[in-house]
Amino acid sequence: MFPSFPEIVQILSLPFMTRSLVTVVVLAVAGALIGVFVNLRNLEFISDGLAHSVFPGLVVGYVVAGTDGVFLGALIAALVASVLLTVVSRRGVGSDAGIAVVLASMFSIGIVIVSRQSGYVSQLEDLLFGRLLTVTDSQVRQIVVVGVIATLLVVATWRAQLFRAFDPQGFRAAGYRELPYDVVLNVAVALVVVAGSQAIGNLLVLALLIVPVAVARLITTHVAWVAPVAAVVSVLCGGVGLLVGYQASVVGGVSPSPSAVVVLVMIVVYLLVLVAYVLGRQVRLWRLSRPAAGPGLTERAEGRSDAQGRSAA
Amino acid sequence: MTVTDPSTSRDSAAAPRAGGAAASIRLEHATFSYGGAPSLADVTASIPAGEAVALIGPNGSGKSTLLKGIMGLVPLVSGSLSVLGTSPRQALRRVGYMPQTDDLDPNFPVTLRQVVMMGRYRQIGWGRRPGKEDRRAVAAALERVGLADEASRKFGDLSGGQQQRGILARALTVDPAILLLDEPFNGLDRTNRDALLTTLNELREQGVTVVTSTHDLELAREVCSTVMLLNRRVVACGPIETTLTLEKVERTFEGVGVEIDSHTVTTLPHGHGHEHTREHG
């Protein structure tokens, strides 16, 4: 079922597969680097808000200028939404409610506009779930440019973003102002959403920002390794997802959304790593509890071996 | 209201580092507010270089407000405030701040060394990597707080006391003329407490001005020469021997149930439960 290495090279050399691969790699690396701070600052929800807010931009762009307008529309929406959401989320009290209101209203506006078009179901599908295997050369160029800009925004402010994420009070006391860094980060997130919307899909692109970093944080605790590990995980999952999607349509005769396959591969990897992590921790705790169990470990020790449980108690 | 008179406090001649100005921090009728009612009103005080001031008062009394005010992080709505002879924001690069470490995420993937290096980030600026001098400053700061051997450990794996000393090291990397500490002794064991006390006393001897909020009156006596009793205004301010008296402390904590080091002040009325809850910032 699964192709050999030369076959893989051959498949990926097909022009449309090469374009898809470049797209996935660029988005995977950008998503992993920017996702580090989405993860460390728990910005998953605001990122979701940004993704939903880009949606009406996609739709309006499409309605006004067809496929060519999608990108520009998304870009404008992203910049407006990232500034708006930065301000809303800084209001502190009830910021989740604020984000949720923005998210729901923007998405509804997008749906209302797109539903006035004829044949809107398939258009809606394209915008939401992407067309990874049919990205054009000009789309690839757009994705690379926007992805690189988004990455540079975060890389250039990396240390400040790290400080901001770790200790906001100390950050302010060191003379930094938070707002510009928050805007930069949210713009970077929005740009990744823009870059990924047409290929991966407006909603699924969020997974590239969130899942690989979650995997990396289970694998390593050193911040210098989180980003590279996340990028490698993301690129590998993207490549495997593409191949699985290709095989499924060519060999299997079913055509799943390839970007959904990419995301599912990531989720599977996440679950496997999570299980390994939890098991590893249990084993370490159990080993620790054997010589002299602390009070908190007694129960677990009893569960495994009566003798040890008793000696611990 | 009592005002610190620079001529009566000890060490006032010791190594003035504020560009010749006698006062390291000078407040005149300073009132701070986050927008609503003032968090702290009408503070007048002059803190000479090398002085150590303890801020004592119940929760919400304005201790943190004053510390943040000195850094220019809380708006000054009336009166005046000068730090090292200039505005708080201007002086900030010579001010070290040690916030409480309780809010820090123990799973955050950083090493102690990286946390201390954060103190240098502002000076390093954009697009450059930490240089030799930055690494030396970090090593020296870690040495000073006695954590040189722990530099490569994950910050969250350190004990609470070590974390606090690490944050102090971060504040020291900027070679501060003023050190602001927010409840530095909360929940410290004896070892860490003594280590911190030693460091603070050394810094004072070098002419660093220390301002610390604390519930710990023993600390106030061991490190500080001046005390400021706060309750949304200055209740009393002056040399510790004459100011940290039972009568004045009781007046500061009036109507508020707060636990204080029992062997220092024993006759405070017990307030079970009723906590002053005007929290801010």
What string of DSSP letters covers A181-193? HHHHHHHHHHHHH
List Cβ neighbours of B132 (8 Å cut-off, separation of 6 or more): none
DSSP B10-55: TTTTS---STT-SEEEEEEEEEE-SSSS-SEEEEEEEEETT-EEEE
Between A122 and A80, the more confident residue is: A80
A173 touches chain B (CB under 8 A): yes
Q: How far is it, in rounded angstroms, from Cα A305 to Cα B9?
A: 67
The closest of B14, B55, B47 to B220, measured between CA atoms, is B55
CB contact under 8 A, B118 and A165: no
Residue A305: predicted pLDDT = 42
First to last CA, chain A: 54
* Out of A159, A173, A226, closest to residue B97 by CB: A173
Which of A173, A176, A222 is nearest residue B109 as measured by Cβ atoms?
A222
Q: How far is CA A50 from the centre of its chain?
A: 12
Rounded to a whole number, what is the distance in Å from the CA of A258 to chain B's nearest CA? Answer: 33
Q: How far is B243 from chain A (nearest CA, A)?
A: 30
pLDDT of residue A309: 38
Interface contact A162, partner B, CB < 8 A: yes
Within a domain: residue B36? Answer: yes
How far is residue B144's CA from residue B138's CA, in Å, rounded to a whole number?
10
Which of B64, B84, B103, B121 is the mutation pick for testing A, counting most A CBs within 10 A? Answer: B121
Cβ–Cβ gap A176/B127 under 8 Å? no
Rounded to whole angstroms, how far apart are CA atoms A273 and A238?
17
| Pairwise CA distance, residues A191 & A146, whole Å | 6
Do B53 and B12 contact (CB within 8 A), yes or no?
A: no
Q: Which residue has the tokens 């309750």?
A: B231
Name the helix (H) or strand (E) containing A294. none
**What are the start-end ranges of the E strands in A61-218?**
none
Average pLDDT score over residue span A142-166: 95
Chain B CB contacts of A156 under 8 Å are 126-127
- Reference B146, options B199, B186, B210, B110; nearest CA is B199
Determine, yes or no, domain membership for B169.
no
The count of structural domains within chain B is 1
Is B105 close to A166, i.e. CB distance below 8 A? yes
The confidence score (pLDDT) of residue B8 equals: 39
What pLDDT is stored for residue A134 in this prediction?
86
**Where does residue B280 rank: exposed (0-12), middle (13-18), buried (19+ CB within 10 A)?**
middle
CA distance A103 to chain B (A): 28
User: Residues A258-289, buried b or exposed e (16+ Cβ, 10 A)?
Assistant: bbbbbbbbbeebbeebeeeeeeeeeeebbeeb
Average pLDDT over residues A247-275: 88
Are residues B108 and A166, on separate chains, in Cβ contact within 8 Å? yes
- CA-nearest residue to B110 within chain A is A223
Instruction: Give contacts of A 45-104 with B, CB under 8 A.
Output: none
How does pLDDT run along chain B (281 residues), one tens digit per residue? 344 444 434 443 333 333 444 689 999 999 999 888 889 999 999 999 999 999 998 888 899 999 999 999 999 999 999 999 999 999 998 999 998 888 888 889 999 999 999 999 988 887 778 999 999 999 999 999 999 999 999 999 998 889 999 999 999 998 999 999 998 877 788 888 888 888 999 999 999 999 999 888 877 888 898 999 998 888 888 898 888 887 788 788 775 544 454 434 433 344 433 333 333 43
Question: Counting every residue, how long is chain A?
Answer: 313
B19 vs A: CB within 8 A: no
Interface contact flag, B111 A162, Cβ < 8 Å: no
ipTM score of the complex? 0.80
Using the predicted structure, report yes or no on whether residue A303 has a pLDDT greater than 80. no
Interface test with B, best of A93, A155, A166 (most B CBs within 10 A): A166
Domain residue spans in chain A?
5-312
Q: Is A1 on the interface with B (CB under 8 A)?
A: no
Full domain range(s) for residue B88: 23-105+178-252
The confidence band for A292, taking pLDDT boundaries of 50, 70 and 90, is low
Q: What share of chain B is helix, strand, coil (3-state, %, to 5)?
A: 35, 20, 45
Name the CATH superfamily, with its identifier, for domain A5-312: ABC transporter involved in vitamin B12 uptake, BtuC (1.10.3470.10)
The four Cα atoms B118, B121, B123, B125 give a dihedral, to 10 degrees, of: 180
Establish if B124 belongs to a structural domain: no
Q: Is A166 on the interface with B (CB under 8 A)?
A: yes
User: How are strands ordered across the β-sheet holding B76-83?
Assistant: B40-48, B23-32, B76-83
Closest CA in chain A for residue B107: A221
Q: Determine the distance from the C-alpha atom of residue B237 to the mean position of all C-alpha atoms in its chain, rounded to a whole number.
A: 16
All residues of chain B having their beta carbon less than 8 Å from the beta carbon of residue A174 are 92, 97, 118-119, 121-122
- A163 chain-B contacts, CB cut-off 8 A: 118, 121
B124 interaction partners in chain A (CB closer than 8 Å) = 159
CB-based contact A223 B114, cutoff 8 Å: yes
Give the pLDDT of residue A94: 54
| Shortest alpha-carbon distance between residue B281 and chain A (Å) | 10
A165 to chain B, minimum CA–CA distance in Å? Answer: 9
* A299 and A279 Cβ atoms separated by less than 8 Å: no
Q: Which amino acid is at A41?
A: R
Neighbours of A145 (CB within 10 A): 13
pLDDT score of A304 more than 50:
no
Q: Report the residue from B104, B119, B154 with minimal CB separation from A221.
A: B154
Cβ within 8 Å of residue A133, ≥6 positions away: A16, A17, A20, A245, A246, A258
* Strand residues in chain B grouped as ranges (E): 23-32, 40-48, 52-56, 76-83, 95-98, 178-182, 209-213, 226-230, 234-239
Contact A227, A32 (CB under 8 A): yes
Q: Is the CB of B103 inside 8 Å of chain A's CB atoms? A: yes
B180, B183, B187, B188: CA torsion to nearest 10: 30
Angle of helix A67-90 versus helix A95-115 axis, rounded to 10: 160
Please indicate if any CB of chain A lies within 8 Å of the CB of B106: no
Q: How many residues appear in chain B? A: 281
Q: Which of B71, B110, B124 sits opposite A166 (nearest CB)?
A: B110
Return the CATH number at B80: 3.40.50.300
* Residue B241, SS3 per DSSP: helix
For an interface test with B, the pick among A40, A161, A169 (most B C-beta atoms closer than 10 Å) comes out as A169
